[in-house]
Structure 1
């Protein structure tokens, strides 16, 4: 699977990244297919030299099925090459305990509504059950009557 991702360069505590197209099985800083840009996180966000992208090549690789990582998707979104991804949709990122508890509480509220829907469904069989009981009761005397006649 092809990925658009960052490959780290630079020295210790002075990172500079290349935006590359690579097979997902290749190491992060290893072999890649093509370099399509760079990213320097140490420069201020308003500097033009912070990000450099080859838009045509990136669009080509996206058309070939390459998937950007979350960080690269954000960089591409900021440069209007793809729609800006929604914040907080990274399945690989750890969720803080407080947020996890909130989600569990939200999750506990969601089943309450289907349980309320299930209650009317449970009431419907109760209405049918007396009808079913009434029918065997009517049939029971008919069965007993022939048995009494035999005596």
Structure 2
């Protein structure tokens, strides 16, 4: 499938890259279908709206930066997404002009079911996580700021 994006121009994506968000993403409820575009050799990917070429979100594997990150996914969300075993967790990243001030949102992870290709941004209630955890000052061992 060929899609148009503001950032990368025309992309050819597969059906396996498309995730359906029945309720959209908070603030972007009209955008319900997204392509998950991976970035090679790194912990980042993009969630590109199929409805609006100018809407995309930078995501990261939170466990790369915060290996002890954990939460209990509410049963209602598991049922809504049809999650039995397989689940992928990604978190939104905000890049700042000064890269060392970039942040990751650990309070509202993106939960993806790779089997049904459905997704949802879940807000974790009763959590100590915040929407702006430092990306580069995270207690990680295997990913350096220089990308090596």
- TM class, shorter-length: under 0.3
More helix by share: 1
TM-score after normalising by structure 1: 0.23
More strand by share: 2
TM-score after normalising by structure 2: 0.24
Q: Which has the larger radius of gyration?
A: 1
By relative contact order (CA 8 Å, sep 6+), the higher-ranking structure is 2
